[in-house]
């Protein structure tokens, strides 16, 4: 059976390595492996979320909520927007991107992604016959090359994806740049990915009241500690949200993910502590890694940082392998378009794990 042509031509998305894979390959104890490759919250989920999941297990024979009004209200309050400006997805932010594509993309449309950035945008939209056009991040200045965005815009451009803080560079995009792009291109949807906004303490959510062509993507997989529950949400003008609800799967959140999300948003202390500990870990890692002369460490406003390892004598793949042998998982960024074979990305861990990582990377590089 032959698939659709676009499926036949597509490359598979390359995720980070799992603890199970590494433990089996290198004969390691899974519980002792330190995972710095997937930008997760290392301190676990909210205790209130865990308790709610235990209580809800007895009801999983019933279909989940379809309207999600209670959760919509919590997200709207958390985000400072109106209820009708919120849409929730049950496969993390990826479902929100997928619903955006189903709602607005026609075959032959184009979308812009500045490289390097999160490659799942491309993976999802190409499935619907859209073609990627690449702009660029200026790695020397560690900022978005705004001119390259304007140069990439054409008659078929339907969306522009701008990740802020950007994955993998950790860079914020200036609000004025977003406003300029949106103002000059009212017929193009400007998708601002704020998956990591809590760590930057900067948001552009107010722009959805100024521009009806700005869409904000967020997730509960980072600060909010629910990567395993797969919950994302989007913020936009009510018209865009209404269109998307026509397409969105009705039961995409499970009963367990619903109560986990609801009770996490209500656990204000947990959220505040997750942000505080995440920023502390990030600063520790940046300070310690910057002392290693052979590493070029990018400052970050996220829960990860990008590192050029060319001066170490290792490629990213070689260094990642040496670290994996010692129970450390980092993200080899060789598969990221816009980066060569000398970049890795590491994410925050507990301070105890951070210190062990620093000790091991020094051992490998020396």
Question: pLDDT digit string (tens) for 213-267?
Answer: 999 999 999 999 999 999 999 999 999 999 999 999 988 999 999 999 999 999 9
d(CA 201, CA 190): 21
Q: 181, 199, 207, 177: which is closest to 85 by C-alpha? A: 207
Backbone angles phi, psi at 192, to 5 degrees: -100, 115
Token representation of residue 59: 């009801």
Specify the long-range contacts of residues 140-145, CB closer than 8 Å, at least 24 apart.
Answer: 142/169, 142/171, 142/298, 142/299, 143/171, 144/114, 144/171, 144/173, 144/177, 145/114
Note whether 46 and 263 are within 8 A (CB). Answer: yes
pLDDT of 14? 63
CA distances 269 to 76, 167, 217, 223, 275, Å, are 18, 27, 24, 12, 10
The model's pTM: 0.94
Note whether 333 and 343 are within 8 A (CB). Answer: yes
Could you report how far apart the first and last alpha carbons of the chain are, in Å? Answer: 53
Strand (E) positions, 148-300? Answer: 157-163, 189-193, 214-219, 232-235, 296-297
Q: Which helix (H) or strand (E) holds 86?
A: strand 86-89
pLDDT of 127? 93
pLDDT of 34? 95
pLDDT of 17? 67
Token representation of residue 153: 């815009």
Instruction: Going from the first residue of the chain to its last (366 residues), give the mean pLDDT of each consecutive group of 10, the final group possibly shorter.
Output: 75 71 86 93 98 97 89 98 97 95 97 96 94 97 97 98 98 98 98 98 97 98 97 98 95 95 98 98 98 98 98 98 96 95 98 98 96
pLDDT of 22? 83
State whether the Cα torsion 350-365-15-236 is positive or negative. Answer: positive
CA distances 200 to 254, 282, 302, 344, Å, are 30, 11, 6, 21
Q: For the purposes of burial, counting CB atoms within 10 Å of the CB of 326, is it exposed (0-12), middle (13-18) or buried (19 or more)?
A: middle
Assign 231 to helix, strand or coil: strand
Report which DSSP code applies to 183.
Answer: H
pLDDT tens-place string over residues 60-73: 999 997 789 999 99
């Amino acid at each position: 059976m032959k698939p659709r042509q676009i499926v036949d031509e597509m490359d598979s998305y390359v995720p980070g390595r799992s603890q199970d894979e590494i433990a089996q390959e290198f004969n390691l104890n899974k519980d002792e492996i330190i995972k710095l490759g997937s930008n997760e919250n290392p301190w676990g989920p909210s205790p209130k979320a865990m308790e709610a999941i235990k209580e809800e297990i007895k009801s999983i024979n019933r279909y989940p909520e379809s309207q999600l009004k209670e959760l919509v209200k919590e997200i709207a309050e958390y985000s400072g927007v109106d209820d009708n400006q919120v849409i929730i997805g049950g496969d993390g932010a990826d479902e929100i991107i997928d619903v955006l594509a189903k709602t607005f993309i026609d075959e032959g449309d184009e979308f812009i992604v500045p490289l390097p950035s999160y490659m799942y945008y491309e993976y999802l939209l190409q499935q619907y016959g859209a073609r990627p056009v690449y702009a660029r991040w200026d790695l020397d200045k560690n900022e978005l090359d705004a001119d390259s965005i304007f140069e990439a815009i054409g008659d078929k451009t339907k969306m522009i994806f701008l990740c802020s803080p950007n994955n993998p560079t950790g860079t914020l995009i200036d609000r004025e740049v977003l406003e300029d792009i949106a103002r000059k291109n009212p017929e193009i949807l400007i998708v601002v990915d704020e998956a990591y906004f809590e760590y930057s303490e900067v948001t552009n959510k107010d722009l959805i009241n100024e521009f009806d062509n700005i869409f904000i993507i967020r997730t509960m997989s980072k600060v909010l500690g629910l990567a395993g529950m797969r919950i994302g949400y989007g913020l936009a003008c009510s018209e865009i949200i209404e269109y998307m609800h026509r397409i969105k799967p009705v039961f995409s959140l499970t009963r367990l993910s619903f109560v986990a999300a609801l009770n996490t948003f209500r656990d204000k202390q947990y959220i505040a502590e997750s942000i505080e500990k995440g920023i502390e870990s990030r600063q520790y890692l940046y300070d310690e890694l910057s002392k290693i002369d052979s590493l070029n460490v990018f400052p970050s406003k996220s829960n990860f940082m990008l590192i050029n390892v060319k001066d170490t004598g290792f490629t990213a793949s070689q260094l990642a392998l040496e670290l994996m042998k010692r129970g450390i998982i980092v993200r080899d960024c060789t598969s990221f378009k816009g980066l060569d074979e000398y970049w890795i990305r590491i994410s925050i861990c507990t301070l105890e794990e951070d210190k062990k990582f620093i000790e091991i990377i020094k051992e490998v590089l020396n």
